Structure formats: structure tokens, C-alpha cells
């Protein structure tokens, strides 16, 4: 776990602080921890070793800066190197001048090719294209049927017939031309790289359809074998890129780095869930953070921007800062948060969130959110504006109205008042770094030097790749998880008023 | 308790959102990053050459690795020097044995030395970590229907494994009923039905999105009424880090274990190419469904399945079956000795 990595490096740092630069032996000691972290993330050993020597080059000779401890500096180098390797030579999806653009998917069994095919079709559709799916997996029982069902919910047509995979691919392509579709996605059977017959068949399909893009679908939970798989498929099919699946698992996904490392082809798409929409372009910074076990502020921001209604948020934001936040505002915020998706997913993106907190968030389901909402909705407008008037009999009424218990109402009210207290403190903090600092405190990072919003935004537009380190390298004193002792969590006193920068 | 969590989470997210909106206001006029959904161009088109470390070095190393096992075998007997240790470490790590288990094995190796040769010494050390009992139970209490429940994450080969198990149970003369409890994945029941036809088993299925518990319940009722010898129950693949999905699984298991059913085996199917995430899969599934054994699939590829060593050592859960290919006969009993020999290239 990254927490361990950062902790160990921090401890190491103490003894190094006085020096101007890292000696080779200091660096060796630091890199041992990094190696462990990478191996725990399932990065293939060969790639780990090669990667570490590159990091060594990067760090060596670099003068130590005052703002970062030596340990932090090492992590920064590792992080930057990861981004560089993961993000080098990005692939731009272009469309063939002579449609259709042909996309071929290959991979081991169970990597998620069929689901990915449907997700990819939906993605192209959202880009304004007219995709067409070709089901050439005649191997696995019911694979064609699976693709049909998925394609139906994506609103995309599927071609298949019971001939041979090569024939299906060829005829599917013709059919797409006839129908005037401009993107054809071919799903092939899962195969082992050492199965010569099947690999030859994959080559034959590629030869018959001359794909514009050939993607290897690779599973994020894959172990050391990722290098073999990627290499063999690349040798056979000349991949244009990789698609990584099952990123919603709690695996760290080192396989991505392994595969990337041996074929030198970029990761283009990432699949993050079971629904068809859980699919997006791949962002190296996020993967780098993930391999090291760090949160992903950027995704969070982006998700918020995409789904939140800024007018609603802005309105209650003012009140939030001035400490006059009401339960009505809370209700509005709750609605916004629900739009963003599962809390568990969101928590995964927050930096410095403890495992317990994450587990707790994972366990919060619609029902819990509904209950909280029901409690607030069972209050009168007057009560929502001023919860202090809620006495015992009102509590009983609210509990009955929301089909919950008095103690649930009590908990909510208590939590709400603590949260309000905390917000008031944040509101009085100086702007704008102050707010960011308060966020930092919230997010569990030590306040001084935490990245302000502006920095985050720069990051997002890809300016400062090194930025997230600010957030990352600080020892996580996270959101003291409210799993059991939730009450302690939001104590106003916990939020140290952020220091000025 | 969860209300506390909800409130806390909502606040955290709301605060983040607030900051974002604030930030947007204060940067008005400044160029805003282009909307993401619009174009794949966001993957910057300027290309930096890939650092050759990963390409050149790795290729070289891969080329050399072929001789690695030979090297291991020829290492001199007696005490362990650093080169030996490194070679051992490399073999274990690259087989997905995992860092921790590898470190433990190395430590033991160093302590005891290897007078009989490194491979034999290592073989002994690794074998000591395996559990001894890996028998499969097919008998339930009197009047009850034995149920084997198959669980695991997505894409590990649960349905295929059931097909193969049905095949060998049929060959053993048992009357087998399949329960299509994967009501989530599109066409999973179709896939299982084809296996039922192929193996001459019966199947109970329901529509997509049906309650998996009810499917299993129906299957047990039918098996009881028509004197089937064994029910093999499929479940939907699920990630191991979602408590809700695991709760659902726990419920399926409870249903299956209710009279006249009796769960005699809960087999966790794990993909042989899986890395360290397998540990968390076992941990979570065991908690939810009391796993009685592990099925390691897809060991016919280049993956070495070393994760089995770590799993048995850490959880004392036996690997009961291994999948060695796509053929219907390619599911066999796990033999630790053969496995370790293959692992060490002996």
C-alpha cells in the first residue's frame, strides 16, 4: 500500500534532511521501498527493474529542494516517470478517410472483450459515429448472444452468422459498408497466446479486414503474465493500443504498466464498471496515482463538473461559506452528489481517504441515501431552516414521517450541526488558498502547501504534471473514518485553520 | 450508523463541488479546458519517444529469462549466496507468488541452507505451506440435496468450470442439475444451458435480472423432488470490493443452505493469470460465502499460477481443482507436488 510506501520514505527522509542531495546509498534504500510498492501492484519484475533504473537516473544529481523532503522527491520522480511511461506516444483516434474505420479487439478469455466491444460501440456512438458490431467469437457458448443483448441496450446493430470467424469478420465488414456504417468493431474469441491455431486465426481475421486499430483488452487484475500476453499478441497482430478493464476492482493495476512497458503501445481506453457507460479514454496521471495507491482529485473534479448543476451548487455554496447552510441546502447538495454516481466510487477518487472510510462508502447504498433524504423531507420548512427548534415531539413526528427511528433523526441532526460548525470555520478562512487549505484539511492532507484549486485546474489542463505530488506526498492523516465513531469525525476542532501561503 | 457516513460523504463532496464552482468563477475569462467528451484529441498528439528502458532493457531481459530456470537448477548446493537468492526471488516473483510469500520462503531458505540443492530445498519449503486435505464433498445430510456453489469475480471462468464439473460428475454416474444463478450477465444462462445439453445435465433458469436466490431455491426444490444427486449453482461474477454485491452472494448461499438444500462445497473460481488481487478476492469472498476451496483456471497459458502458494499459505484454503485447457476434460484435481515442480522448472 502506498500509505506504507510514503510512510517508509518519510521515515527515511528524516535522516537525510540535512544533506543537499541524495547519495547513491540513500537512493538505494528509498528505491527498495518503491520496488516493493510496484511489485505489490503486480508490475512485472522485468518492468520494475527497468523502471527503477530510469527513476534512479531521474533522481540522481537532482538537487534537493527545500519544499520537498527527500522521500517526497523520490515519490515525485516515481510518479512523473510513471506518467511519462504510461502517457508517452498517445494514440489519437482518427477515422478512416474511406469508411468504415475497423477496430479489432483481441485478448485472453475473460478479459472482458465482449463487454468492451459494446462499451466501445456506445462510446463511438456518443462521438456521433454510426458503429456496427461484428460478433466473431464463435468459440465461447452464447458469446454472440451476449453481444446481441449488450448491443441492444447500447442501440447498436450486431452482425453474426454461424460460419467461421474469418468469414464472419469479412462479411460483417461488407454488411457495414452496405449499411453505410462508419465504424466497425470486431469482437474475437478469447485465446491463449501460446495457442498457435487460434493466434493464426486472429491473424487471418486481421488480414481479411485490415483493421485501422487493433486493441488488446487486458484485465487490471492480471499478474506477472501481462508481459507475456502483451508481447505475444503484439508480435502476432501488431497492436495499436491497449484497453484496460476491471478498473473498478481494488487491484492496483500494475499490469497496465507491464503491458505498456513491453509493447510500447499506449493505453487508449479504460473500463471502470459493469454498466455500458463506465468506459472512457485512459488518463495516465490517474493510473500512475493508482499504481502508487494515491487518490485521484482530477477525476473527482471532472466528474463534478460534468454532472453537477453549477447554479444549485453556487447558491448553497455562499451559504455554506457564511455558515448559514440549511437543511434545504443539504438536500440540494445531496441531490447533486447522487447525480455524480456512487459514493463508493467518489470516495475512491478522494486522496487521503482511509480504507475504513472507503469501505463505509462502498456500503452506502441508495436505501441509505433515501432514508437520509426522507428524514429531511419529513421536516417542516421552518425546521429545515432552523433545526434548533426540533424538540422531542417533533423528533418523534419526523421519525414516524420518514419511517426511521428517533435515534436516526438525532444522529442526522447532530452530524448536521457539527458539519455546519466546520463550514463556518472554513468560510472564515482567507481566500482562495485558504479554502483550498480547508479542503485539504477536509481531505485529510496537512494544510500548508496543499494544492490550491488553481493548481488543480492547471493540472487538469495538463500543465503541471508534477502537481498532484503536493497532495500526495503529505502524510495522510485522513478524514478520520467515521465507520464506527463517525461523531468524532467532523469535530470542528479537527479542521486546523489553514495557514497562509 | 450509515446516516453518519452519508452526511459526512455528502459534505465532503459538496465542499469539493463548492470549491470547483468557486474556482470556475474566479477563473472567469481565463481559458477553460476543452470539454472532454467532445474529442479524443485530449490525448495530446505530440509524442515523446518512449523511454527506451521499458523497451530495450526489457526485451533484452526477456530474451535472457529463458535460461533462468536452467540457471536455478545448476546453482551450487550448500549455503545461499546473494546471486542464488536473487535467482530464487526472481523465479518466485515472476510466477505471481507475491512479494511477502517470496520473502518468507527466501528467509527460510537462508536459515536452513540447501545442502541437497536449491531446487529441492525450495521445493520442500514451498510444499510445507500447502494444506493437506483437498477432497471434494458430494454427500449431504440424509434427505438433503448437496449443492456446490460457484463464486468469483467476472471473467474467471465460473460458467465454464461448472460445465466441466458437470461433465466429470456425470461421468461418475451422478444425476446433475445446473442452477443458472447468474442472472446479471447477458446470455450467461444461455451459456450454461449449452453446457447442460452437452453434458446431459438438467438446468433450472429464469429470466435476466431475476433474483438469483429464487433460481437456486427452485433448482433445489426440483432436485429434491426428482432425486438429483448434485446441484451446481452458478452465480454472477462480482467485484470483491463491493459489500452490497457480497451481501447478495451471502443471501444466495443462505438460500442454498436451507432445507432441503445443503451447501457442501463453495468453490471460489480464480483466474490463474491473476496477480496479488487474488488475495483480496479470497478474503472478501470467504467472508461473504465461506469458501471451502479454490478452483484455479486458465493454467494452460504462460501464467504460472504462483498465487496458489500465497493463497494456501495465507488462508489455509485448499486449491481443489485446476483448469488446464478448454477441453471438457481439462479440469483436474490439484496436485501440490506437480505444481511446485512445474513452478521451479524441476
Strand, helix or coil at B291? coil
- The alpha carbon of residue A436 is apart from the nearest alpha carbon of chain B, in Å, by 7
Pick the CATH number of A2-87 from 1.20.120.140, 3.40.50.300, 1.10.1200.120, 1.10.3720.10: 1.20.120.140
Q: How far is A425 from A428, CA to CA, in rounded Å?
A: 5
Q: How far is B200 from B225, CA to CA, in rounded Å?
A: 19
Which of B9, B14, B90 is closest, CB to CB, to A364? B9
Domain boundaries, chain B: 67-128, 145-335
Alpha helix stretches (DSSP H) within A17-44: 24-40
| Residue matched to cell numbers 499478474 | A223
Residue A295 forms contact with B (CB below 8 Å): no
Q: Which residues, given as ranges, of chain B have pLDDT below 50? A: 1, 23-66
Cis status, amide bond into A270, omega within 30 of 0:
no
Burial A230-269 (b: 16+ CB within 10 A, else e): bbbbbebbebbbbbbbbbbbbbbbbbbbbbbbbbbbbbbb
Would you state the pLDDT for residue A260? 87
- A480 grid coordinates: 478520520
Determine the distance from the C-alpha atom of residue B95 to the mean position of all C-alpha atoms in its chain, rounded to a whole number. 15
Would you state the pLDDT for residue B40? 23
Would you state the pLDDT for residue B208? 82
Would you state the pLDDT for residue B5? 58
| CB-CB contact of A215 with A103 (8 Å) | yes
* Record: contact B241-A308, CB cut-off 8 A: no
Q: What is the mean pLDDT of each run of 10 residues along chain A (501 residues)?
A: 51 56 76 86 86 83 64 76 81 87 93 93 93 92 90 93 92 94 93 82 93 94 89 90 88 86 88 85 80 59 62 70 78 76 64 61 72 90 88 92 90 83 65 39 34 37 32 32 35 38 35
Residue A384 forms contact with B (CB below 8 Å): no
Count of CB contacts below 8 A, A vs B?
A: 353
- Per-residue H/E/C for B295-346: EEECCCCCCCCCHHHHHHHHHCCCEEEEECCCCCCCEEECCHHHHHHHHHCC
What is the topology classification, in CATH, of domain A299-494?
Answer: 434 Repressor (Amino-terminal Domain) (1.10.260)
Residue A142 forms contact with B (CB below 8 Å): yes
Phi, psi of B234 (to 5 degrees): -85, 150
Would you state the pLDDT for residue A481? 33
What is the topology classification, in CATH, of domain B145-335?
Answer: Rossmann fold (3.40.50)
DSSP string, B23-42: HHHHTTTSPPPPPTTT-GGG
Q: How far is B311 from B97, CA to CA, in rounded Å?
A: 9
102-121 of A, contacting B, C-beta below 8 A: 108-112
Strand, helix or coil at A222? strand
Phi, psi of B58 (to 5 degrees): -65, -40
Would you state the pLDDT for residue A73? 74
Domain boundaries, chain A: 2-87, 101-285, 299-494
| CB-CB contact of B337 with B284 (8 Å) | no
Strand, helix or coil at A136? strand
Would you state the pLDDT for residue A344? 64
Alpha helix stretches (DSSP H) within A188-253: 196-209, 226-237
* Record: contact B54-A340, CB cut-off 8 A: no
| CB-CB contact of B91 with B344 (8 Å) | yes
All residues of chain A having their beta carbon less than 8 Å from the beta carbon of residue B298 are: 108-110, 192
Q: How far is A343 from A355, CA to CA, in rounded Å?
A: 14
| CB-CB contact of A495 with A425 (8 Å) | yes
Q: How far is A436 from A218, CA to CA, in rounded Å?
A: 37
CA distances from A96 to A93, A168, A176, B278 (A): 10, 21, 14, 41
Residue from B5, B25, B270 to probe the interface with A (highest A Cβ count within 10 Å): B5
Domain B67-128 has CATH 1.20.120.140: yes
- Per-residue H/E/C for B104-145: HHHHHHHHHCECCCHHHHHHHHHHHCCCCCCCCCCCCCCCCE
Which architecture does CATH list for A101-285? 3-Layer(aba) Sandwich (3.40)
* Element spanning A187, H or E: strand A183-188
Which of B8, B19, B188 is closest, CB to CB, to A489? B8
Q: How far is A291 from A132, CA to CA, in rounded Å?
A: 35
Residue A254 forms contact with B (CB below 8 Å): yes
* Record: contact B8-A51, CB cut-off 8 A: no
Would you state the pLDDT for residue B17? 56
- The alpha carbon of residue B138 is apart from the nearest alpha carbon of chain A, in Å, by 27
* Record: contact B157-A42, CB cut-off 8 A: no
Which of A227, A346, A457 is closest, CB to CB, to B13? A346
* Record: contact A408-B50, CB cut-off 8 A: no
- The alpha carbon of residue A218 is apart from the nearest alpha carbon of chain B, in Å, by 11
* Record: contact B190-A141, CB cut-off 8 A: yes
* Record: contact A261-B15, CB cut-off 8 A: no
Residue from B54, B64, B237, B325 to probe the interface with A (highest A Cβ count within 10 Å): B54
Amino acid at each position: 500500500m502506498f500509505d506504507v510506501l510514503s510512510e517508509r520514505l518519510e521515515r527515511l527522509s528524516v535522516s537525510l534532511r540535512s544533506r543537499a542531495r541524495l547519495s547513491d546509498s540513500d537512493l538505494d534504500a528509498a528505491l527498495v521501498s518503491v520496488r516493493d510498492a510496484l511489485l505489490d501492484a503486480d508490475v512485472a519484475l522485468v518492468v520494475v527493474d527497468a523502471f527503477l533504473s530510469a527513476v534512479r537516473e531521474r533522481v540522481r544529481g537532482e538537487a534537493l529542494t527545500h519544499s520537498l523532503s527527500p522521500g517526497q522527491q523520490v515519490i515525485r520522480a516515481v510518479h512523473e516517470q510513471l506518467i511519462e511511461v504510461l502517457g508517452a506516444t498517445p494514440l489519437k483516434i482518427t477515422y478512416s478517410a474511406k469508411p468504415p474505420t475497423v477496430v479489432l479487439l483481441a485478448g485472453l478469455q475473460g478479459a472482458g472483450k465482449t463487454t468492451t466491444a459494446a462499451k466501445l460501440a456506445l462510446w463511438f456512438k456518443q462521438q456521433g459515429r454510426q458503429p456496427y458490431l461484428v460478433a466473431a467469437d464463435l468459440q465461447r457458448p452464447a458469446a454472440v448472444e451476449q453481444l446481441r443483448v449488450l448491443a441492444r441496450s447500447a442501440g447498436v446493430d450486431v452482425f453474426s452468422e454461424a460460419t467461421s470467424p474469418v468469414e464472419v469478420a469479412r462479411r460483417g465488414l461488407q454488411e457495414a459498408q452496405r449499411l453505410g456504417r462508419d465504424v466497425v468493431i470486431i469482437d474475437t474469441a478469447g485465446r491463449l497466446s501460446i495457442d498457435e491455431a487460434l493466434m493464426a486465426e486472429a491473424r487471418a481475421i486481421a488480414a481479411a479486414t485490415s483493421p485501422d486499430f487493433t486493441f488488446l483488452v487486458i484485465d487490471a487484475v492480471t499478474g506477472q503474465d501481462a508481459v507475456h500476453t502483451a508481447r505475444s499478441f503484439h508480435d502476432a497482430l501488431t497492436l495499436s493500443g491497449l484497453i484496460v478493464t476491471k478498473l473498478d476492482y481494488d487491484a492496483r493495476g500494475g499490469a497496465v504498466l507491464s503491458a505498456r512497458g513491453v509493447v510500447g503501445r499506449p493505453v487508449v481506453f479504460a473500463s471502470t464498471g459493469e454498466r455500458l457507460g463506465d468506459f472512457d479514454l485512459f488518463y495516465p496521471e490517474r493510473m500512475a496515482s493508482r499504481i502508487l495507491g494515491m487518490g485521484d482529485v482530477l477525476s473527482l473534479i471532472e466528474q463534478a463538473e460534468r454532472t453537477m448543476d453549477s447554479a444549485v451548487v453556487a447558491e448553497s455554496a455562499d451559504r455554506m461559506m457564511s455558515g448559514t447552510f440549511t437543511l434545504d441546502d443539504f438536500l440540494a447538495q445531496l441531490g447533486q452528489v447522487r447525480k455524480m454516481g456512487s459514493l463508493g466510487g467518489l470516495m475512491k477518487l478522494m486522496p487521503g481517504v482511509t480504507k475504513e472510510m472507503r469501505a463505509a462508502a462502498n456500503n452506502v447504498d441508495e436505501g441509505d441515501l433515501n432514508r437520509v433524504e426522507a428524514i429531511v423531507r419529513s421536516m417542516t420548512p421552518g425546521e429545515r431552516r432552523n433545526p434548533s427548534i426540533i424538540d422531542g415531539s417533533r423528533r418523534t413526528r419526523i421519525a414516524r414521517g420518514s419511517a426511521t427511528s428517533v435515534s436516526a433523526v438525532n444522529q442526522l441532526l447532530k452530524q448536521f450541526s457539527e458539519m455546519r460548525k466546520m463550514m463556518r470555520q472554513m468560510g472564515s478562512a482567507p481566500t482562495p488558498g485558504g479554502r483550498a487549505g480547508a479542503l485539504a484539511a477536509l481531505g485529510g492532507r496537512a494544510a500548508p502547501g496543499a494544492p490550491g484549486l488553481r493548481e488543480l485546474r492547471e493540472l487538469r489542463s495538463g500543465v503541471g504534471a508534477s502537481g498532484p505530488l503536493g497532495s500526495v506526498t503529505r502524510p495522510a492523516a485522513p478524514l478520520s473514518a467515521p465507520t464506527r465513531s463517525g461523531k468524532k469525525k467532523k469535530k470542528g476542532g479537527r479542521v486546523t485553520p489553514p495557514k497562509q501561503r | 450508523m450509515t446516516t453518519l457516513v452519508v452526511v459526512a460523504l455528502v459534505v465532503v463532496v459538496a465542499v469539493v463541488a463548492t470549491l470547483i464552482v468557486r474556482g470556475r468563477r474566479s477563473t472567469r475569462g481565463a481559458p477553460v479546458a476543452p470539454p472532454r467528451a467532445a474529442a479524443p484529441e485530449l490525448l495530446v498528439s505530440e509524442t515523446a519517444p518512449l523511454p527506451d528502458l521499458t523497451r530495450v532493457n526489457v526485451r533484452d531481459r526477456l530474451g535472457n529469462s529463458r535460461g533462468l530456470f536452467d540457471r536455478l537448477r545448476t546453482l551450487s548446493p550448500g549455503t545461499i549466496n546473494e546471486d542464488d537468492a536473487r535467482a530464487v526471488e526472481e523465479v518466485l516473483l515472476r510466477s505471481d507468488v507475491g512479494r511477502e510469500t517470496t520473502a518468507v520462503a527466501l528467509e527460510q531458505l537462508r536459515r536452513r541452507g540447501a545442502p541437497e540443492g536449491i531446487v529441492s530445498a525450495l521445493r520442500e519449503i514451498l510444499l510445507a505451506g500447502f494444506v493437506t486435505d483437498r477432497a471434494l464433498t458430494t454427500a449431504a445430510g440424509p434427505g438433503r440435496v448437496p449443492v456446490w456453489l460457484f463464486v468469483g469475480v467476472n471473467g474467471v471462468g465460473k460458467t465454464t468450470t461448472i460445465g466441466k464439473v458437470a461433465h466429470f460428475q456425470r461421468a461418475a454416474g451422478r444425476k446433475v442439475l445446473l442452477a443458472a444463478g447468474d442472472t446479471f450477465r447477458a446470455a450467461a444462462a444461455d451459456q450454461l444451458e449449452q453446457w447442460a445439453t452437452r453434458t446431459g445435465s438438467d438446468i433450472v433458469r429464469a429470466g435476466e435480472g431475476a433474483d438469483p436466490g429464487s433460481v437456486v431455491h427452485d433448482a433445489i426444490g426440483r432436485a429434491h423432488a426428482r432425486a438429483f444427486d448434485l446441484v451446481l449453482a452458478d452465480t454472477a461474477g462480482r467485484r470483491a470490493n463491493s459489500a452490497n454485491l457480497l451481501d447478495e452472494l451471502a443471501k444466495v448461499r443462505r438460500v442454498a443452505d436451507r432445507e432441503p438444500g445443503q451447501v457442501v462445497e463453495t468453490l471460489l473460481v480464480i483466474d490463474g493469470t491473476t496477480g496479488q488481487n487474488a488475495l483480496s478476492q479470497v478474503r472478501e469472498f470467504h467472508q461473504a460465502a465461506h469458501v471451502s476451496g479454490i478452483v484455479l483456471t486458465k493454467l494452460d497459458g504462460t501464467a504460472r499460477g504462483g498465487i496458489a502458494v500465497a493463497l494456501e499459505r495465507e488462508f489455509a484454503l485448499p486449491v481443489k481443482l485446476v483448469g488446464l485447457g478448454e477441453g471438457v476434460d481439462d479440469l483436474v484435481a490439484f496436485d501440490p507436488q506437480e505444481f511446485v515442480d512445474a513452478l521451479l522448472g524441476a
